[in-house]
Amino acid sequence: MLKVELSSFAKDLDSLKRALESGADSVYIGGETFGMNTMSQKFSIKDLQEGIEFAHERNKKVYVIISLLPHNNDFVKLEEYLLKLNEIKVDALILCEPGTLEIVRRVLPDMKIHMGSQTNIYNYETARFYYDLGVRRVVLAKELGLKDIIDIRKNVPLDLEIEAFVHGGMVMSYSGRRLLSNYMSSKGTKEYDKEKHYNLVEEKRPGQYCPIYEDEGGTFFYASKDLCMIEFLPELIKSGVTTLSIEGNMKSDEYMEKALKIYRKAIDKFIENPEKWQLNRVWLEELQSLDHRVLTTGFYLEENIDYTK
C-alpha cells in the first residue's frame, strides 16, 4: 500500500498536539535555530517528553532539529543533550551539517537520522554520500524541480526516504550572524532588537516584500510568496517523495491546523484512488483564505504558477 507521510512544524507543546490531531503523521520540533541554546525557550525536556508520549499513543512521530549551523561552543553539552533526547524516545534527529552527524553517530549509533533542507541536497551523489554514512532520510533543497526529484529517486537506494516541502513559507537564505542589527547599530554588538522588522525589495518590483527575520541564531530571508502544491500533489508523490512537509515557522496555529486538514484530505483521496484523483477547488480556495500572501508552485514546475486572489 502506498504510504505518504504528512509532516508539520510545531513551535510548542500545544501546537504539536494540534498538528497531530489535525492530520499530521509527524512533527518536527523547533525553527531555524532550534537546538541546545533555545530548548528552554521553546520546549522544555518535560514538554517534549509529554509531546512524544502524546504522539506515540497515536502511532505518530516526533523529530528534533539539532542546531542549524552550530558554532564551536554549541558542541560543549551536545552529547549530554543527545542522551536526553534518546532517553525520552525521540523518533529521529534532523541534522544539517557533517560535524553534528559524526557526533550523533558516535553517541547514538541506533538513532534514525534525517539530513535537513539546509544541507543543500541537490543531486543523487550527495544523497548517496549521506546514505553511506547511515542517513535514511534526506530533505531535498527547495530549488529542485520535479524532474530533478525523479532523477534522484532513480539513483538512490529504495530505503532512502525523500522529503520535500509541499506548502508554506520558503526560506531563501540563512546566515548564522545577525547581519542587519549589527550593521544598522554600527556598534559591533551582539544584541538585536526584536521590535525591528526588515524586508528585501527588488527596485523594479515595488510592493513585493521578502521578509527578513532575526533571532538569537542569525538572519533568515523568506520569499515574498508561499509555496502551494495542492493542485500538483499527484505529480509530487509520483516523483518519489515519501514525506510531504508544511513549513510553518512564521504561521499561526490556526493556519497550520487548517492547512494540515486540507492536505490530509487531499493525500487520503489520492491514496484511496490515485488514478481518479482530482483537485477539489474548495481546497485551494481555503488555502488562499488562510493568509494575505500570494501562493505559488515555487521551483517544482517548468513554468511557475502564482495563485493570485
Q: What's the CATH number where 144 sits? A: 3.20.20.70
Q: Is residue 195 part of a domain?
A: no
* pTM: predicted TM-score of the whole model, two decimal places: 0.85
What's the number of domains the chain is made of? 1
265 dihedral zone (left: phi>0; alpha: psi -120 to 50; beta): alpha
Is 206 inside a domain boundary?
no
Q: What is the pLDDT of residue 117?
A: 87
Mean pLDDT taken over the chain: 84
Cα dist from 29 to 14, 32, 127, 178, whole Å: 12, 10, 23, 22
Q: HSE of 201 in the Cβ direction (CA atoms, 13 Å)?
A: 9
168-218 confidence digits (pLDDT tens): 876 655 555 555 555 545 444 555 455 556 776 666 667 666 666 666 556
Q: What is the pLDDT of residue 304?
A: 79
Tell me if 254 is assigned to some domain: yes
Q: Which residues of 277-303 are buried (b: 16+ CB within 10 A; e: fewer)?
A: beeeeebbeebbebbebebbbbbbbee
In a domain, 180, yes or no: no
Q: At 152, which helix (H) or strand (E)?
A: helix 146-154
Residue carrying C-alpha cell 538513532: 111
Write out the residue range of the structural domain in which residue 299 sits.
5-167+225-307
48 part of a folded domain:
yes
For residue 186, the model assigns a pLDDT of 47
10-residue averages of pLDDT along the chain (309 residues) = 88 94 93 46 82 98 84 82 93 94 96 93 97 96 94 97 90 54 50 59 67 62 77 97 90 93 97 95 95 86 79
Q: pLDDT digits over 55-76, tens only?
A: 999 999 999 988 766 778 778 8
Whether 205 is in a domain gets the answer no
Tell me whether residue 204 is in a domain. no
Query: Among 154, 104, 91, which residue's Cα sits nearest to residue 127?
Result: 154
Distance (Å, whole) CA 233 – CA 67:
31
